[in-house]
Amino acid sequence: MSIKEKQEEIIEEFAILDGDMEMTNFYVMELGQKLPPMSEADKTDDNIVKGCQSKVWLTADLDGDNITYHADSNTAITKGLVSLLVRTFSGQKVNDILNEEVYFPERIGMERFIGTQRSNGFAAMIKQMKLYALAYKSKIES
């Protein structure tokens, strides 16, 4: 499934919640619980996403020219938010990650239920994922 298809799938899932804030928050936390566990050894200061109010750890592995992301957070909502990004970008090609716009947050009205601080942190997560992709792109091309 492409990044665009994954985003459309997320938008459809949130549409079912029909803007119900309580259900939306519960669903985001539920998504976080389904995030594959991250190795405790990877939960280091070096892997913390800068710009997040909560602690968010993020790592990436390159398999051919596809990236797999691993993430965790110390708060349930933030873990759910990063799980949406892991779902969107993991298994995708480096160039697709770099070139694809992340539009699902706006389409699901995410700013209504996460606030400014978390929105800034979410943007920092996207930036970090794209930085991993950029680093791997230069590794592939060298």
**What are the catalytic residues?**
52
3-class secondary structure, 72: strand
How would you list the strands of the sheet with 92-93, edge to edge? 56-63, 66-73, 92-93
3-class secondary structure, 135: helix
Outline where 59-108 has alpha helix (H): 76-89, 94-99, 104-107
- Alpha-carbon span 10 to 104, nearest angstrom: 7
